[in-house]
Amino acid sequence: MATLARLPSRLHHTAYVTHDLEATRRFYEEVIGLPLVATWCEVDQLFGAERVYCHLFFGIGDGGALAFFKFAKPEDEKQFGPKMPFSPFHHIALNVDRDTQADIERRLQENGYGPPQTFVLEHGYCRSVYVTDPNGLILEFTLDAPQAGEISRTRRASAHADLKRWLAGDHTSNNTYRVE
Q: What is the pLDDT of residues 100-124, one digit of tens each?
A: 999 999 999 999 998 888 999 999 9
Residue 43 CA: distances (Å) to CA of 34, 58, 68, 146 = 26, 21, 15, 47
Does position 62 have pLDDT exceeding 60, yes or no?
Answer: yes
Which sequence spans correspond to the domains of the chain? Answer: 13-144
Does position 21 have pLDDT exceeding 90, yes or no?
Answer: yes
- What pTM was computed for the model? 0.85
CATH 3.40.50.2300 fits 13-144, yes or no: no
Pairwise CA distance, residues 164 & 168, whole Å = 6
Buried b (16+ CB within 10 A) or exposed e, 31-41: bbebeeeeeee
If you average pLDDT over every residue of the chain, what do you get?
A: 91
pLDDT at 101: 95
